[in-house]
Amino acid sequence: MSTATLKVWRGADPAAGRFERYEVPFEPGQSVLDGLRWIRAHRDPSLAIRYSCINANACKECMMELDGETVYACTARLEAREMTVRPLGNKTLMRDLVTEIAPPAERFKG
Amino acid sequence: MDSHSHVSTDVLIIGSGGAGMYAAIEAARAGASVFLLDRSLIGRGGATVMAQMTVAVALGEETPDHWSHHFKDTLEAGRGLCDERLARLLCEEGPEVMRQMDDWGVGWARKDGHITQAFAPGHDRPRCAYVDFLNTGPAVSKTLRTVVNKTPGIRKAGDLLVTDLVRDGDAVTGAVAIHLATGAPVTIGAKATIVATGGLTRLYRRNSASANMGGDGYALCLRAGAPLIDMEFVQFFPIGHLAPRLIGMDPIMWDPFRYKLGGKLLNARGEEFTTRYGVSEDGRYVITRDLATFAITKEVEAGRGSPHGGAYLSFQHLSEQDLRAAFGPVIDRLAANDIDLTRMPVEVAPIAHYQMGGVIANDRMETSLPGLTVAGEAVGGANGANRLSGNAITEALVFGRRAGRSAAERVASMNSNPYRPQAARPALDLIASATDRDDINTAEMIIALQATMSDDVGPFRTKEKLVRAATRIDELTRALGERPAGDGHAFDMRTLDWFDLRNMLSVAGIVTSAALTRTESRGAHQREDFPGMLPEWRVNQVVTMRGGELHMTRQPVALEAAAQ
């Protein structure tokens, strides 16, 4: 089985993040989200990602930057090479790959 | 660690799928202030947005129909276990909510000015409205989101994970949540609380709904003291996509293809095997969900399955023109996945789709606890042992509307918010007890639970498999422990997983034990060691939690006459 390498931005402060590299088993047809979910289950459950529908491009939650382009991780293909994923640069960071994407009127203000 | 924010509202609604949003609109229109929350984004998760296809309702637009015919089909599908009061409500009020959705601009497909109604297996006539064959759920969600946004009095908040309801004396007075965006606890005090969290399909490895439907609502209500019913009945959708790997499409996408084009279900030998199980399809889509699930599973067991362990679904007998005429742009999305239906079949297999069981409610959606109502898939009983296709969206809308009304009526009868902070203390203490432990991998545990449920508590069950599952669930529960894992900071996935697992394991254990005690086969619950439906089992199983202990009892089926 070949592998894909995901270089993942980690951190809670945009100015003080780091990249971590993960080798992920690769099967043709997989999505980048499949790779990130594999990392959580097999390497580090603290990796923050958000998704609801997993595969259907219905919830629109898994937006992130892949090699500099904004994608949905559920529809972007994993490839057997090094791929770099980062949180959206134009949204407020929560943690790792999760940013504040809800419309302002739908956010909780305590 | 005692600082938390507090929200005071007339009506708290947990979950913003179709049922929750409809409830919010109805309660706010009746004058109540509404706090509509979701563990994720508002109106994006849950099951409604994932619905691909049809909404069953006796509109009689093209073929004469009456709700009583729909009711009869619903009871028939439910194999004698439907709560007839709830089934009747669903069928009788379906037309009203459909027309309301039409007025709100959902865009039901029409022909010659009449709403188009398709035939679906199990119905006695064409009854299923739709928007567009792959867009019904998204259109329903979008319409409700728009109306929610325009309705004064609804406050919305995403990223709030409810960990417990607040029970004070006999009543439910609100909820405790974690604000995922910050990690901070939040308390919500409410005169009425509506649980609209959907079902439990996430308990299974392959499923057709969102990852945020792990049975939260069942566990929340049970812990607060409300009983559950029919939890052994999990519906499997027979032709979920299996292979080749397909991205950007919902796994139940083949249902609309079958509605429009029929298609052929084939085994590894290329035989149309459903005839072996008494159903000759002959290019049409007539086999019901439970029988198709049975037929595919048996073919796989007999060594006649497809390479990935399912059946083939073939449209190769159709021309590209026919396929394009029916599904235009979808054909291009398939091509992007290297799937050409004129040259190859796809592989399909049963996937977890819907939970018939749920929280016990009367026909006003009120549970046994004052202040607690439920809506949508969280409600148990309306669909008995097997849900008729097309009833889920109808149920979400009808039950959502009814729950919103009942909640608003309760609000109107109360002078002040009954919430008292001390009643939220145990739930806040649990959140505060979290430790940054790394002895467990919560993401891996969820996958382990899904494997157990899929392999041993799927559609075909035996005592041996169920006992093995119960043992495994106990092991996972012990490993989870009593104190949450995580650092308590923003978007802490381990905390989220821990609270999810707490609910998922509790609900998985209940499904398993209810399946173990029902020693017969009926609808979606098939015991290979107890084949055949037994008259003495025409009873509902009820689960209650008292002092942390589960109790299972049986009760007679609620008949329609009781509603009068």
Stretches where chain B sits below pLDDT 50 are 1, 562-564
d(CA A11, CA A47): 9
Chain A: give the shortest CA distance to residue B318, in Å: 26
Residues in A touching B49 (Cβ below 8 Å): 53, 58-59
Query: Which one of B184, B247, B442 has the shortest CB-CB distance to A31?
Result: B247
Would you say residue B385 lies in a domain?
A: no
pLDDT at residue B151 in the model: 98
Interface contact flag, B159 A48, Cβ < 8 Å: no
pLDDT score of B134: 74
Q: Is the peptide bond before A45 cis (omega within 30 degrees of 0)?
A: no
The Cα-based distances of B420 to B17, B46, B175, B273, B341 in angstroms read 29, 31, 11, 61, 61
The CATH class, in words, for A3-106 is alpha beta
Task: Tell me whether residue B343 is in a domain.
Answer: yes
In a domain, B492, yes or no: yes
**Residues forming a β-bridge with A19:** A9
Of the CA atoms within 13 Å of residue B49, those in its CB half-sphere come to 28
* Residues β-bridged to residue A43: none
In angstroms, rounded to a whole number, what is the distance separating the alpha carbons of residues B246 and B258?
A: 18
In the predicted model, residues of chain A with pLDDT beneath 50 are none
Is residue B370 domain-resident? Answer: no
Residue B54 confidence (pLDDT): 86
**Residue type at B543 in one-letter notation:** V
Domain boundaries defined on chain A: 3-106
Query: Over the stretch B471-516, which tens digit does the pLDDT of each residue have?
Result: 999 999 999 999 999 998 999 999 999 999 999 999 999 999 999 9
Give the C-alpha separation, B9 to B140, whole Å. Answer: 26
Q: Which residues of B40-65 are buried (b: 16+ CB within 10 A; e: fewer)?
A: bbbbbbbbbbbbbbbbbbbbbbbeeb
Predicted pLDDT at B561? 63
The CATH number of the domain holding residue B293 is 3.90.700.10
Do A107 and B159 count as a contact with CB atoms less than 8 A apart?
yes
Residue B240 contacts A where some CB pair is shorter than 8 Å = no
Which two tokens mark B406?
């009942």
Report if residue B454 sits inside a domain: yes
**Residue B436 and residue B344 share a domain:** no
Nearest by Cα to B41 from B76, B59, B17? B17
Cα–Cα distance measured from residue B69 to residue B75, given in angstroms and rounded to the nearest whole number: 10
**List of chain A residues whose C-beta atoms are within 8 Å of the C-beta of residue B16:** none
Note whether B211 contacts A51, CB cutoff 8 Å.
Answer: yes
Angle formed by the axes of helices B320-336 and B254-261, nearest 10°: 170
- Per-residue pLDDT reduced to its tens digit, B430-477: 999 999 988 999 999 999 999 999 999 999 999 999 999 999 999 999
Q: Which of A66, A106, A109 to mutate to test the interface with B (most CBs of B within 10 A)?
A: A106
Tell me, what's the pLDDT at B279? Answer: 85
Tally of structural domains, chain B: 2
Q: Among A59, A61, A46, A70, which residue's Cα sits nearest to residue A99?
A: A61
First to last CA, chain A: 49
Distance from the first to the final alpha carbon of chain B: 52
Q: Chain B: nearest CA to A40, how far in angstroms?
A: 6
User: DSSP code of B558?
Assistant: P
pLDDT of residue B469: 98
Say what the pLDDT of residue B1 is: 45
CB contact under 8 A, B157 and A49: no
Mutate to test the interface with A, among B178, B206, B337, B493 (most CBs of A within 10 A): B493
Which pLDDT score is estimated for B259?
Answer: 80
List pLDDT tens digits, range B221-230: 999 999 999 9
Global pTM reads 0.95
Assigned domain for B502 exists = yes
Q: Which domain holds residue B313?
A: 238-352
Q: Closest-CA residue in chain A for B495?
A: A46
